[in-house]
Amino acid sequence: MTIRAPGLTRRTVLQGSASALMAGASGVLLTSCAGDETPDTGDPLTFLAILPLTSLTFTPELLADAGGYFADQGLDVTFQSTRGSAQAIQLVLAGSAPLTRIGQIESVSHAANSGAPIRNIGTVIKGSTIRLVSSAADPLREPADFVGKTIGIPSEGGSSEITLNLMIAASGLDVESVDRQVVGLGPGVFNLVEQGRIAGFMVSIDTAKILESQSPNTVTLNPGDFIESGAQLYMTSEAGLVENADIARRYLAAIRSAIDFMIADEDFAETLRIVREIYSFGTLDDTAVAVDSLNEYRRTWTAGGPGSLLRTDPDQWRAGYLELVNAGQVDGGLDPDAWFTNELVPAG
């Protein structure tokens, strides 16, 4: 298969406070351009990133930017970091930005518990991006191994802790049988595991791959082997689904093109070359870790087959909702089908 590499392009990247978006809800958003370059023309679209764009989980966005796929769709995309998914959801619902990418857990929780008029318009990662790492000296290979032990989490009540609860509940175990301790996010936390102070901790795929490269004693558990929840999706509002349908459709088309490129680019050599023209961060710059991580992400993009890229699987979506209900995280008796649509997903 021939890999198409369109001309490189540069976009405006914002890493500052998302409060500027609230101030600019009337339609005027003041930005600063990268370097002294004049921004490319195109329809403006502000994409809200719930994490800094220094994670390979955002490679579809980074390649769509660096590889010109956004420009191909006539889009001038601005990346704006937020303080997590709650703020991103608030900004989209307020009409301050048309689009964000959040987790299935957060999406369903807001829709079910607060009636937020959110709409999932495309599932990009069809599985959990969280990993639980432990040591081969006392490995955690299934939820039954967690009982009576302490698991490190990045924050209380966040998606990592909810994922932990879902794994425990789905295995028929008592959620209270596992202790939790808030720890950092970096690879250095593995020292706490080796010292026996915690049994394991929740990390991103990127961090898990760094740990695996640093220590042969690292044992990695994928929550997706035990639960259906944990996907990542593109979210807009009910009103935005009408007002921004065309621009959102073009955004998804650009992401689809970027993922198609990476599927064909088996060793990711061209992907890394193109993205590195503009971006630089730890896991991207380490070729071995980057390739290992991207192979993992590619499996999550293509779960269900290449023909299902970005499409939300109704059965998986419903199963994820029921998991949250059974774990006591969301209200039951609702219709989760009302919270997603595949209408904007490019045909494949």
Sequence ranges of the chain with CATH classification 3.40.190.10:
13-127+230-339, 130-225
Please give the model's pTM, rounded to 2 decimal places: 0.87
pLDDT band at 98 (very low <50, low <70, confident <90, very high): very high
| Phi, psi for residue 178 in degrees, rounded to 5 | -120, 125
What architecture is the 13-127+230-339 domain classified under in CATH? 3-Layer(aba) Sandwich (3.40)
Answer yes or no: is pLDDT of 34 > 80. no
**Average pLDDT score over residue span 60-70:** 98
Q: Give the C-alpha separation, 202 to 208, whole Å.
A: 9
Answer yes or no: is pLDDT of 16 > 50. no
Contacts of 329 (CB under 8 A, 6+ apart): 105, 109, 162, 165, 166
pLDDT band at 52 (very low <50, low <70, confident <90, very high): confident
Answer yes or no: is pLDDT of 10 > 70. no
The dihedral over CA atoms of 275, 280, 286, 291, expressed in degrees to the nearest 10, equals -30
Q: How deeply is 299 buried, as exposed, middle or buried, from its count of CB atoms within 10 A (0-12, 13-18, 19+)?
A: middle
Task: Answer positive or negative: Cα dihedral of 214, 216, 219, 224.
Answer: positive
**Average pLDDT score over residue span 18-45:** 47
Contact (CB, 8 A) for 312 and 303 = no
Q: Which of 250, 205, 234, 204 is nearest to 310 (CA)?
A: 234
Instruction: Give the distance from CA 122 to its chain's centroid.
Output: 12
Contacts of 65 (CB under 8 A, 6+ apart): 9, 10, 11, 77, 79, 278
Q: Each residue of 54-70: b (16+ CB within 10 Å) or e?
A: bbbbbbbbbbbbbbbbb
Answer yes or no: is pLDDT of 17 > 60. no
Residue at 255: amino acid letter: I
Contact (CB, 8 A) for 160 and 202 = yes
Q: Give the C-alpha separation, 115 to 108, whole Å.
A: 10
Q: What is the pLDDT of residue 5?
A: 41
Two tokens, residue 2 = 């021939």
Task: Answer positive or negative: Cα dihedral of 115, 118, 122, 126.
Answer: negative
What order of strands is seen across the sheet that includes strand 179-182? 179-182, 150-153, 200-204, 130-135, 218-221
Q: What is the pLDDT of residue 156?
A: 85
pLDDT band at 304 (very low <50, low <70, confident <90, very high): confident
Answer yes or no: is pLDDT of 46 > 70. yes
pLDDT band at 187 (very low <50, low <70, confident <90, very high): confident
What's the CATH code, domain 130-225?
A: 3.40.190.10
SS (H, E, C) 204-262: EHHHHHHHHHHCCCEEEECHHHCCCCCCEEEEEEHHHHHHCHHHHHHHHHHHHHHHHHH
Angle at 100 between CA 113 and CA 240, to 5 degrees: 80
Answer yes or no: is pLDDT of 202 > 90. yes
Q: What is the pLDDT of residue 24?
A: 44
**What are the CA-CA distances from residue 258 to residues 144, 191, 212 (Å)?**
39, 37, 27
